[in-house]
Amino acid sequence: MAKRILVLGVGQNNFLSFLYGTLKKYDASFCIKAPFIRDLNKPVPDATWMYDNKDVVIKVSFFNLFRAFIISSFSLHLWQTFFFILFVEKKFKKAVHFFLKHNQAKAFFLQNKSFKDIDIFHFHYIQYSYLRELFLIPKDKNIVCTFWGSDLLRTSDILNFYFVKKALNRATTITCQSLEMREIILSKFGRNLLNKIKIAQFPVDRKIYDEMDANIQNKTLIKSFQEKYGYSLTKKNILVGHNGSKNNNHEKIIQALSGSACKDKCHLIVNLNYAISSDEKKDYVPRLEKLLNESGFTFTVNDTFFSKEELAISRLATSIFIHMPISDALSGTLTEMLYANNSVITGSWLPYKTFKKMGLQYHEVDDFDELPIILDALMADFEKEQLQSATNKKAIQDYFFNENCIMNWSKILIQ
């Protein structure tokens, strides 16, 4: 019997295709509808085969918009939230925006007969703007709410708290990636949620790992990549942060590294290829370049969006990864860097208990001021550092490259 899932919330197919593609391969009886799937850059080749969207109508009729307006007028949830925004947040335009978006969501449900055939409604990224449809789902249906990381760790406004708390109390199951994240959910939204929470890691993108395995000894290809994207051919290439978001703390890292004694042996790389808008770059790039020029390191600021193959080679073209964002879940970039035998320096405040249990070898610092000390120490005996890091590949294979992860998701989504 088919297990019918409707995917709502954030729709980044570049990420979700790993989960649902693996799920369909594990159990072909899953029927997954994901009407709002989108790709961050170009479409993921052959990635949408796991979605059955042909019967979902996205464009709503005027008749259903009118019906939605009439029905929503009697919605307690709509008016509670509308007046919360209006009188607690004191934001009239935001209240009107919520009212209109709620009606659009209701019209979408009416257009699709309220998705009565769906068994599980799976919401990704548990944040106010991605949860409107959750309160339109019939009471007898199962709802899975999946935290990604920054939705839990980087949102604190009062409306988001109010909305998410209501959503979690309505949900059947809540998933997160670690015990630390579970504790944050319980502390933030209430310990009554404990029995609903399941720990579930996302499947890794095996294509990137396979690409790394296939090219780890291909010095010509790695050198060609380094030349093309401004990496150093003679120094240790250090990647600072994993994308363009300011939450990566690029500026603090670069300022701290200015105290290093091994500037002549290292080349800094900052990738601004996603998670930053064109308008943000106009202000941010000059600031970064000023700091980089003052740091004494040679450097490259890159804004090219890598293909999956190039992304894999970029891991092999790097020697050290410094990852110290304000918050994180379980970083896919960090896992890939460790797999490629990079030395990793990260912040002790990040919830990486899972990585520690796996026995992964990496360096932690409590404060940015410790960065130059750690960097100089590992550069002093880099061959020894490489030998210690070499154990990471096997540990990652043992933990992530098996069916346990997707079996866990299958159990969660069967309910």
Q: How many Cβ atoms are within 10 Å of 368's Cβ, its own excluded?
A: 18
Q: Are 311 and 340 in contact (CB under 8 A)?
A: no
| Helical pair 92-111 and 76-83, crossing angle rounded to 10 deg | 160
pLDDT in the model for residue 299: 95
The angle formed by the CA atoms of residues 395, 401 and 402, to the nearest 5 degrees, is 115
Question: Could you list the pLDDT tens digit for every one of the 415 residues in the chain?
Answer: 569 999 999 988 877 888 998 999 999 999 999 999 887 655 555 556 789 999 999 999 999 999 999 999 999 999 999 999 999 999 999 999 999 999 999 999 999 999 999 999 999 999 999 999 999 999 889 999 999 988 888 777 899 999 999 999 999 999 999 899 999 999 999 999 999 999 998 888 888 999 999 999 999 999 999 999 999 999 999 999 988 889 899 999 999 999 999 999 999 999 998 778 888 888 899 999 999 999 999 999 998 888 889 999 999 999 999 999 988 877 788 999 999 999 999 999 998 888 888 999 999 999 999 999 999 999 999 999 999 899 999 999 998 888 888 999 999 998 7
pLDDT in the model for residue 219: 96
33 closest CA partner among 106, 105, 144, 115? 115
Name all domains of the chain by residue range, CATH numbers in brackets. Answer: 3-203+403-414 (3.40.50.2000), 206-400 (3.40.50.2000)
pLDDT in the model for residue 12: 84
pLDDT in the model for residue 331: 78
Length of the chain counted residue by residue: 415
d(CA 62, CA 222): 56
What are 299's strand-pairing partners? 268
Predicted TM-score (pTM) of this structure? 0.85
Q: How many Cβ atoms are within 10 Å of 141's Cβ, its own excluded?
A: 15
Q: Are 280 and 272 in contact (CB under 8 A)?
A: no
d(CA 40, CA 234): 33
d(CA 229, CA 313): 11
pLDDT in the model for residue 249: 94
pLDDT in the model for residue 264: 94
Q: What is the DSSP letter of 370?
A: G
Q: Maximum Cα–Cα distance for the chain, whole Å?
A: 71
2 closest CA partner among 33, 34, 32, 31? 31
Q: Are 72 and 100 in contact (CB under 8 A)?
A: no
Q: What DSSP string describes 5-71?
A: EEEEE--BHHHHHHHHHHHHHH-TTEEEE-TT-B-SSSPPTT-GGGB--TT---SPPHHHHHHHHHH
